[in-house]
Each structure stands twice: as structure tokens, then as C-alpha cells.
A and B are shown apart, each in its own frame.
Chain A
Amino acid sequence: MTEVFLQARGLTCERDWRVLFSGLELQLEYGQMLQVSGPNGSGKTSLLRLLAGLMQPTAGEILYLGIPLGRQRHELARHSLWIGHAAGIKGLLTPEENLAWLTALQNSASDEAIAEALQAVGLKGFEDVPCHTLSAGQQRRVGLARLYLPEAPALWILDEPFTALDKKAVAQLEQHLAGHCERGGMVIFTTHHELQHRPASFCELELGQ
């Protein structure tokens, strides 16, 4: 398939009177993986937030399946998954409760699917402990467990997904992301880490040049 899923035209982002990037062109097709890279403060997170529909661009437009995002927010919301720096994990809730709520917000999953997803990220045995007692890496895994649910949406927008993960978990996540792209899904993410597993459709966008 070569249909364009998400497209950005002449995208400009300004924060605190500083232009982060301007006239940015971007195109994402089914099965593509896009790594946004660049130095700190070059607008990587801002670009991801723009694409997820959390922020409005200063100029330019984002097209979702050829139609401006403003009129399509609802549709994009169904087909995309956003995990930011803070993944929306409540310290007082257990991983199971957190995951159940986050999936209910999108398209709900069964209890078994949630248990399997937690097992996939190596949190078996931690289902019933409050998240604030878990380590930073484990909390990160609770957020990432959403990617292992059977009804995960097509487009994943991930801001620094590899932060705080150990080597084994990083390798596993890389493979999972590549697998998602090979099944026709799309991933947009930022990282400072060099990817070992790249799908055929990998491309990189360098900001701040």
C-alpha cells in the first residue's frame, strides 16, 4: 500500500517567540517508521505533539488521509496512540488499573489481553502493586504495555520510548516496533539512541539544521 496516511505541509512551530522549525514537509505511508532526531530543544517533542493533535501549528497544516486534521480529530484519535514523556500513569493505581483505564479511553481491551500485555513487558507479578513503588523503567513499561494489546491502533506516536529501559527491554521494544511496521502499522518516535533493528521502510527526519 502506498496510500499517504499522514502528511504535513509547510509546518511551522514557534514557542516563546522562537521558531523551532519552519516549512517542514513530512509524509507518512502505511508500514513506515519515522525517527525524528536532532539536538535537545530542536522541536522534536513539539513536532510529535503537533502530529498527535495536542498542539496547533503556527503555520502550515496537517492532513490525515488527505483531509485537514482540524475536521478529522475524532478519526485520527481512533487510529493513533500517543505516549508522551509522562505516559499518564497514576502512581496510586496498580499497573492493571492504569492500563485498563488507558485502554478504556481508546478502545477497551479484555482483562486477559491486559494481563498478557503486562506479561509481555515483563511486569508479571507486579499487577497489584501501586505504580509509585515501581522503578522508573518499570513505570515506563506500564505505559508501553499499551503497544502490546491486540487492538492497538495503527499509528504510534512515541516521545522517547526507550528512556529508562534496560538493554534487553530496548532490544525487545525495537523489535516490536519493527514488527508493527511490517504488519502495516506506522511508528513516529524520537530517540537519541541508535536503532539496531530497522524495518525496510525506516526513515529519519533531522531537525535543528
Chain B
Amino acid sequence: MGRVFFLLLVREARLMFRRPGELANPLVFFAIVISLFPLAVGPETQLLRTLSPGLVWVAALLAVLLSLDGLFRSDFEDGSLEQWVVSPHPLGVLVLAKVLAHWLFSGLPLVLLSPVLGLMLGFPAERIPVLLASLLIGTPILSLLGAVGAALTVGLKRGGILLTLLILPLYIPVLILGSGVLQAALQGLPTLGYLLWMGSMLMLAITLTPLAIAAGIKISVGE
């Protein structure tokens, strides 16, 4: 089972690197949204710094959301999902590998880019580790939750809007906690509590969402 998990990761990595344009999409979106804000609101350091927690998180959330619509689409169209469903391996394990690969190539680069964008918005340099930690824990939750919606809507011709409506309510707690950590960091308050809360949400998502994603895929393939 571990072998299939690893092989699926390798397969996804190959597919990603043969289509590098898609790799860059969420990253470019994230960078553009954040760099447009100082231009639109004006270069007042204090204002930008106050806004920065919310800005970084909203931009990251939307970037992940945008990249999710196509998560299972090509696998659905070329019949790969059918092969996953009829394979003797548990579908939950396969989808977990798929989402992990998706996060490694779209979520993780976003996390790595965030310090630069954070500094640009005037986020204090000594608090950058908190920014990194909040996104590092938060973006996998976004990917996992979003994959549930992507699995359910993959069979629909225009699933984009429906996907957004389905998963945005689930994203809100993550958004509140994620930007809450950064607000606390800005005011010099302890942040560990928030991060632990997010960590427990991540654990919950890793254990439960693969089952929901697998069920969603079975429904979509069975239609």
C-alpha cells in the first residue's frame, strides 16, 4: 500500500513537471493579489501592516481554491479515476496521495513565497516564522477540504461555482484562525494556542477527509 502511495506521488510529480504552467498559476495569482494592494490602498506602512494578516490569508485561500477546480478533472476525463475505484487498493489512500502531491506543488510554494510578500506588506520580520507556520498548517487543511468538493463536482460540466459555494463555509474557520494567529503575532501576543488549534484541525482533516473524498469520487464515477 505504501508503495502505491509513493508511486502515485511520483506519477503526479511527473505530470506536474511536464506541464509547468499550471504549477505557476496559483503562485502568480497569490503574488499579484498581494502586490496590487499597496498600489490600491496607498503605501501607508501602518495601514498595510494592520491589513497584512487578512490579506495574506485571503489571497492564499483564493489561490488554493482556484487551483482545486481541476484537481480531479483530467483524471476523471481520461478514465484514471475509474481505474482507481476498481483497483484493490483503498481509494482513501490513493486520494490522500493525490491531495498531498497537489499541496506539495501548489500549497508549499505558496508558503515559501509568503515571507517575501509579508515583508512587502510591512509584516515585522521577527514574526515571519509565525506567518510561515500558520500557512504551513493551514494550506493543507484548505487543500484537503477543497478536494472533498472537487471530488463531488468533478462529474459536472460547470462545477466551478458550485465547488466554491460548497467549500467556502468550511474554509471560514480556517481563515479566522489563520489570520487570528497573525493578528496576535502583530500585537506581540502568544500564538501557540492558535497554532495548536490549527494543528488539531489538520489532524482531523487528514484522518476524515480522505474518506469523504473517496465517497465523492465513487458517486461521481458511478453517475
Contacts and interface: CB of A to CB of B under 8 A. Distances in A.
Interface of A: 49, 52-56, 74, 77-78, 80, 82, 84-93, 97, 100-102, 104-106, 108, 130
Contacts of B8: 101
Given A92-B18, A101-B11, A106 B79 contact: no
B187 interface: no
B18 A106 contact: no
A88 B18 contact: no
A54 B218 CA distance: 8
B86 interface: yes
B19 A92 contact: yes
Contacts of A104: 3-4, 7
Contacts of B74: 90
A86 B11 contact: no
A52 B86 CA distance: 7
Given A88-B78, A92-B18, A53 B7 contact: no
Contacts of A93: 11, 14-15, 18
A171 B7 CA distance: 35
Contacts of B19: 92
Given A77-B87, A101-B11, A105-B84, A54 B18 contact: no
B85 interface: yes
Contacts of B83: 82, 88, 102, 105
Nearest to B85: A54
B85 A86 contact: no
Interface string B86-126: 11110000000000000000000000000000000000000
Contacts of B87: 77, 105-106
B80 interface: yes
16 contacts: A54-B82, A54-B85, A78-B88, A84-B82, A86-B78, A88-B83, A90-B15, A90-B78, A90-B80, A91-B78, A92-B19, A97-B11, A100-B7, A101-B7, A101-B11, A104-B4
Nearest to A80: B86
Given A88-B79, A91-B78, A101-B7, 16 more contacts: A53-B86, A54-B86, A54-B221, A78-B88, A87-B78, A88-B83, A89-B79, A92-B18, A93-B15, A97-B11, A97-B14, A100-B7, A102-B83, A104-B4, A105-B89, A106-B87
A49 B14 CA distance: 30
Most B-side CB within 10 Å, residue of A53, A82, A87, A88: A88
Nearest to B19: A92
B88 A106 contact: yes
B190 interface: no
